[in-house]
A and B are shown apart, each in its own frame.
Chain A
Amino acid sequence: MQKNYESYSAEQFLDDAFFIAWVKHKTPEAEKFWKAWAEGNPPNLKAMREAEAQLNGFLSARRIEVNEDTANEVWEKVQQSLSSSAQPVAEKEEGHRINANVRPLYKSWWAAAAVLLIIATVSFFLIRKEAGKEAVVVNKGKQNLPADVAPGGDKAVLTLADGQKIVLDSAANGNLSQQGGIKVIKLGGQLTYNTGNRPAQVLYNTVTTPKGGQFRLVLSEGSRVWLNAGSSLRFPTVFTGTERNVELTGEGYFEVAHNPAQPFTVKVGKMDVEVLGTHFNINSYADEPAAKTTLLEGKLVVKKGDKSLYLQPGQQAVDANNNASEPVLTVNREADADAVMAWKNGLFIFDNSDLPKILRDLSRWYDVEVQTEGVLSGKTLFGIVSRNSPLSTVMKQLKSGSPVPFTYRMEGKKLIVQAAAKN
């Protein structure tokens, strides 16, 4: 099975056993392979060199040498202790037992009863990806989900101005299309728009992610957009005129190229988010009660109807009336900007979320329908989980850390979560 090294990021190289083995041991076969690969002019050669340099950096740590004599010396003592004694050494250490099995890989524990925030467990069960194939890592304990649900991935559909649709996940890397002077290039989970030298025609494209999908865009003026699952962005292939306007549904994280002469506006339903050069996240799913715009850096104003709200970095504007035209705009000063955009870094960070909200997020990323029974809200949770985990892992973690007890099962593509009496 061929690994698609050409699409690897630096991080992925640093996670690849063959790559690591090459840098560490430099065997002739490995040298040959990587030399040939580099000479093939792969698009991510820079990333590979970055990974190589960094790994060499790690490996530059001074080793602590130990000679054979030391090993022999201690072994002699071990022999002596064993032959001379019927008693175990250091009885005081009875209390600590050498655990026969490797310790449970994660623990969760409860905070004081009255506290709403509950301790999170970090998800350690990670999928090691071999190109296209996902191997589920050892999961000790019973699987509640008979057929596990794989996490989402880079999936999206590009709709061109003439209505033609291109499925991005299965498209080959490279030049995807040429429209009115603009080159569209796909690489892994990212789509880049490149203007040429000639004046270009303004055409509108839309990128749509399904449930279980995500995708990255680089617009023609350099702005970057991360689209979460179940979202879409409609945008012109080139920005002319005095404004840059795009339309978003669902959730997107933006890093807008700074251009005071051309303010950037994201239209989200009846709400407009106007920015200069900034980093911000907009969450506006139809099934969420409120639309939340969170500013990380720069300046931003949210406008809806005749109301506008200016944000400082770290603040979040909440439109509690997401689906109606009458805005209820407030500033949420307690929002954790970093938690809000963690999804773009491959993590779910649930910051003071209740179980129903967490389940909605999981439903979008894992593309499952969630059915709840009983009362699951009331207490909130704090947690961090890798978006690369299979659903069974996340549910297990959630169940052990949740202040609201529940049980769950899968029925086909449906996840059924039931409030339970405390177990």
Chain B
Amino acid sequence: MFDILADISLATLLVTVSGIALGIFFGALPGFGGSASLAILLPIAISLSPLDSMVFLIGVYAGGHYGGGIPSVLVGVPGDAGAAATVFDGFQMTRQGRVAEALAMVAMGSAVAGAFSVACFLIFGPVLAQAALRFGPPEFFVLVIFGLSVLGSIDLERMIKTLFAGMLGLAISAIGVDPYWAEPRFIFDTPQLYEGIPFIPALLGLFCIAQMLTLIDEKSLVSGQPAANPTLGATLKGMVETFRYWQSLLIGTVVGTFVGALPGAGATIASFVSYNLAKSTSRRPKLFGKGSPEGLIAPEAANNATVGGALIPTFALGIPGSGSAAVLMGVMMFMGLRPGPQLFMEQLPLIQTLCVYLLIGCVAMLLFGALAAGTFYRLTRVPLKVLVPCTIVAATIGAYSGRSEVFDLWVMLGMGILGYVLNKGKYPLSAVVLGLVLGPLAEQYFVQSLAMTDWDFTVFFTRPICIVLWLMILASVASAVILFRRNRAAEG
């Protein structure tokens, strides 16, 4: 292992840092997180050597997860679905003039969690991959239900409205062909709806457009007297402060790594589950949703910890855990690397080298966060009547670039109006997004489970991992109810 450190190449290091920087840039642009940025940068990647190509793309992947948290904090618009939970407390901190503190914590949480998950990938990759193999469609379905069960604790005071919003997201996701017979449902002969409501335009509409419509009537992003431009020293202090909330950091890191290792589970489930868990175990749960650092660190750490976690099934099993992981796997195979259990045996030095560069890349992420805090702060000082239309135009590129369909722009606008109406009625949009993300997964696993057992519904209640997950769901619901009653009693 130390031989690898001695062979660190400056050129490959620069490629890693470039990948991370580009990933952060694209991740911060609404609609360009995840596989979209990988697809755009693929031509650059395949012109490099196998190692350089892999560190570049994984750097983009990791940088994108961190980058998605930046607009969540600055303007309340997540760069991707995995950063949706970061909005709860991150944006509130900005509105309270604590943007430097929030961005510092996002940077440190992302770097620490990313480094931890990469280390887990290297040390436990094959072992965790074998554990992930024990999850079949019934286990995945119950895991998705677990992800949905955290809805109730997102906003305890509006629990019913939160659950309603989540169900609305699930209902909207049922537009399109079904996974069993491929029968078109509610598409009115519109070919663009065959695969359902396009996710990125819907996400951009619900969060970006709805948020911009809400902000256009306000005077500024920051209520009250804005804080001074953050200095490098203040930003570094904020980064060190992150470790005061080590419990939330640990929760996000562990949950994100584990959930990321499950193919198809994704950063969205990881971030919401860790937010819920951090809130349940916090000594100050009432501060969640009002600018709590714990409420920011837990989901942001989970979001980034899924990077290393997702590499586990991709490399060790040849099963990509997400669209982005599928792009990575495609490039690996193009470069002549065969993903699967034998990869760790045949190519261990390459895997180790990859991990070393990525760990160094996490440090680069931290440095970038420290140096760019001032620039990000200036963005919050841009007049809203300039920021709002510019953000809408940028979002349009994100919505259009996926399929080059003007239809997707109408979807974005339509969902934006829906999001605005839901906002006015105090329905949490994050719950709708969670339903939109998990709905297709839930139905797919539900139908697969029943198809493989000849429609035996007991399959969801008799398998050991399913039983454990149901117990966790009950614990999640119970803790939400207890917290809700505790809050109400405290308010008298």
Asked if A pairs with B, the answer is no
Residues of B within 8 A of A (CB): none
Residues of chain A at the chain B interface (Cβ within 8 Å): none
